[in-house]
Amino acid sequence: MTTEVLICTTLERLHRAIRVPLPPMPGVSYLLSVQGGEPDYTPGRPDIRVVWMQERGLCKNRNLALSRAQGDVLVIADDDNEPVAETIQSVAGLFEEHPDWDIIQFRMAGSGKPFPAPYVSSCELALRRATAGRLRFDERFGLGSKHLACGEEDVFCMEAEKKGLKMKQLDMPLCRLEGTTTGDRFLSDPRVQRSKGAVFALTRGCFRAYYKCTREAIGRFVREGANPFPLLKNMFWGIRYIIKGTCQNISSKD
């Protein structure tokens, strides 16, 4: 089996993305998926391919990469990640040894997140292309989307579970992160707060989502002294956004 690392970036950040690939190794290749225009860049290595799109949006970009991927095992990465060579070399073998596994959630090194973490980050995921690789990210979520800045990985894993795919968690580092994740801005970014409400609505149901958001806001007040009312306002907005979208979809089918 072969492994392909899907690196999503923008034209402005391409200079960072080209530093992500590791030195060439057998059975491992890379796909740079660039949004914002056609890059003036030639990889100069047979194990690196480049695709591009004019549209903006991280999930649109990830979906393009998934549709153009060729490897048997797909590793999701961003332009601020550093793949861990030992794990990249062994990930295809893990899927070979366990043919019933469709997704592996690894540990992300350098983030300070516990394992398993309360939320999923893209650079923790490796997918079997023949099964999980056919799924797509919800383009309402993620950087570059209109309202919801993050949470797309949790929704992706929920959809995988709905389809009966098997996800395994392994306490091994897949990538190292430079800096912080979008979810780390929860207290300061209303779009991240809206995303949490929307993710709860999709993964827990709307009734439980209101309970979870209330508990989250109170917990943040107790632990960190955060004002719970703006948090509740934005998280509840995310729940209503999902409810409204669901109702519109139902109406369009009638």
Asked if 167 and 61 sit in the same domain, the reply is: yes
Name residues whose C-beta falls within 8 Å of residue 126's C-beta, 6 or more positions apart in sequence: 3, 73, 74, 75, 76, 91, 95, 103, 104, 106, 174
Asked if 60 and 134 sit in the same domain, the reply is: yes
- In tens, the pLDDT along 39-63 reads 888 888 999 999 999 988 999 999 9
What pLDDT does 40 receive?
Answer: 82
Asked if 51 and 92 sit in the same domain, the reply is: yes
The DSSP call for residue 188 is: T
In which domain, by residue range, is 57 found? 3-179
Which CATH number characterizes residue 46's domain?
3.90.550.10
Residue written as token pair 């958001």: 213
Closest to 229 in 3D by CA, of 242, 217, 213, 244: 217
What pLDDT does 119 receive?
Answer: 79
Kindly give the parts of the chain with pLDDT less than 70: 111, 179, 246-254
Number of domains in the chain: 2
Residue written as token pair 């292309």: 129
